[in-house]
A and B are shown apart, each in its own frame.
Chain A
Amino acid sequence: MAKADKSTAQRYARLVARRSPKPPVLRNAVTAFLGGGAICSLGQAVLGFFLVRGLTLGEAAITASAVMVGLGALLTGLGIYDEMGRWAGMGAALPITGFANSIVSPAMEYRREGLVLGVGARLFTIAGPVIVYAVAAALLASVVRLLVSGGLGG
């Protein structure tokens, strides 16, 4: 039968659209807000703790990030973070704990393929593209800034 012709494919696409369940956008938005909000509030509390303990804002921010990364890694290892992600969606993926999850989950998954070809080669399967395009975007923004302001600034 080979591939369907264009009109059959289009007609079928309309049928699929009619039969497909609509994603629960409102529910997803609410759980993402609550889940992401809870993680960020916790991060804020950790930041506050380090500020009270006398760290500068810069030091406290870095230390709080490290604590949240450690927490994300721990919850991934305990098999909890994937459940949180299923519930909160982007609310769990976007904070730095989600970044930890994206690194630790392949590390766990590919451990059986060894430390080099498994963990080493696959560690950044999910986070890799994020890092690549974050660096690329930063570079692009810097070039634009250089061209506009005409100097490296201070």
Chain B
Amino acid sequence: MPKSRAKAGPGKVGQTMVFAKAPTILGAASVVGPREGAGPLSGWFDVIKPDRLLGQRSWEMAESKMVEEAVDLALAKAGVKRRDLDFLLAGDLLNQIIASSFAARNIDRPYLGLYGACSTMALALALGAALVSAGFARHVGAVSSSHHDTAERQYRSPTEFGSQRPLTAQWTATAAGAVVMGPPGQGDLRLTHATIGRVVDNDQKNPFDMGSAMAPAAADTIVAHFKDTGRKPDAYDLIVTGDLAAVGQPLAGDLLAEKGIDLGNRFVDCGKMIYDETQDAHAGGSGCGCSASVFAGYLVKNLAAGKLRRVLFVGTGALHSPTSYQQGESIPCVAHAVAVENGRVCGN
């Protein structure tokens, strides 16, 4: 693999934080709903809920419950107690991020609420890695969630309303993914780089086609990551966006090709991975929980097993709101990239 051109030592090159003392991933867990559990990644998720209400009195509290369960399960796998968590970084799609904050109320540790739409998991990993790498924390929890029914009622229409969705639309996943990060040297999986994206807006206005809106942001951050690190696409086994889905991912490929970057077969997307064609999800999955659960489920497990050596996880978020699109504004988007590797397989 090509050596990084970035200087050794902690620091920042361009938009990229380089973690010389790379934080580790000690544990990861995913909790998903029935539709996600019936999809192609079924075997990679830790908990598959048989219903979407989880015995709670509202969709919102069901989502919050999933967040709490995912965090507790990730802590258990990491062998870390709740009280040893220095910070909890969490975010979701709901107004005032209530799914995260209500879970944080129960977890009862210092809490940083984040919003990056579907890029939230990548954002939480980047910030958590920075906190650990800089020595402000030993253990940091990063968690993100979404719920189909909470998102539908907030962004679109009541769940029982009979409308036909366009083919470009994505299906908000009912899922939560959590990761517990620890100090350097404590585990095989290391977070080595985080590239923080700019807000990119190519004047897309269709809230039923967020893949097209987000693709330019994803391409912008991927280009910046390669420029800052000096790495080439072949440094990674997988470059995983979450979630551009079936319409956005080829568009990101087109934009990268214009810059002379060909990601080839290693370019995959969480939104395309989580459902199959028979599940009527149209373009694919979306929502903070989609990329979070694919990361905490599929990616972390394959990295830990050494089947994947190094992965670039690129969370992509559409930063609009129902208010902004009803007022005719375009959809600003952001993407953050996190490089994760198995230190045992990649060496130093």
Interface-facing stretch out of B5-13, B131-139, B198-206, B259-267: B198-206
Shortest CB–CB separation between residue A70 and chain B, in angstroms?
A: 16
Is there contact, CB below 8 Å, between A20 and B162?
no
Determine, out of B67-75, B96-104, B165-173, the stretch whose residues face the partner at the interface.
B165-173
A16 and B204 contacting across the interface, CB-CB below 8 Å: yes
Stretch at the interface among A45-53, A81-89, A133-141: A81-89
Contact B159 A82 (CB under 8 A): yes
A2 at the interface (CB under 8 A from B): yes
The answer, yes or no, to whether B212 is at the interface (CB within 8 Å) is yes
- Complex: how many Å from CA A43 to CA B125? 56
Say whether A1 contacts B163, CB under 8 Å: no
CB atoms of A20 and B209 under 8 A apart: yes
Q: Contacts A19-B247, A20-B212; is A4 near B201 (CB within 8 Å)?
A: yes
Residues from 186 to 235 in B contacting A, C-beta threshold 8 Å: 198-204, 209, 212, 216, 220
Q: Tell me if B153 counts as interface (CB < 8 A to partner A).
A: yes
A98–B166 Cα distance when bound, in Å, is: 19
Question: For chain A, what secondary structure do more than half of its interface residues adopt (helix, strand, loop), or is it mixed?
Answer: helix
A28: which B residues are within 8 A, CB to CB?
A: 164
> Quick one: closest B residue to A92, CB to CB?
B162
Report the minimal beta-carbon distance from A103 to chain B, rounded to whole angstroms: 10
Is A86's CB under 8 angstroms from B200's CB? Answer: no
Q: Contact between A86 and B216 (Cβ–Cβ < 8 Å)?
A: no
User: How many residues from A make CB contacts under 8 Å with B?
Assistant: 42
> For B167, what are the chain A residues with a Cβ–Cβ distance below 8 Å?
20-24
How many A-B pairs fall under 8 Å by CB?
Answer: 108
- Is B31 positioned at the interface, with any CB of A under 8 Å from its CB? no
Interface flags, B265-290, vs A, CB<8A=1, else 0: 00000000000000010010000000
Question: A62: CB under 8 A from chain B?
Answer: no
Chain A residues within 8 Å of B, Cβ to Cβ: 1-4, 8-9, 12-13, 15-16, 19-24, 28, 76-77, 79, 81-86, 89-90, 92-93, 98, 101-102, 104-106, 108-110, 112, 125-126
28 interchain pairs, CB-CB under 8 A: A1-B198, A1-B200, A1-B201, A1-B220, A3-B201, A3-B203, A8-B202, A12-B216, A16-B212, A16-B247, A19-B250, A19-B251, A21-B246, A23-B166, A24-B167, A76-B162, A79-B160, A81-B160, A81-B162, A83-B162, A84-B162, A85-B162, A86-B164, A86-B165, A104-B160, A105-B157, A106-B161, A126-B158
New A-B pairs, 9, CB < 8 Å, besides A16-B251, A101-B160, A105-B158: A1-B198, A4-B201, A12-B216, A16-B204, A20-B247, A86-B163, A93-B163, A126-B157, A126-B161
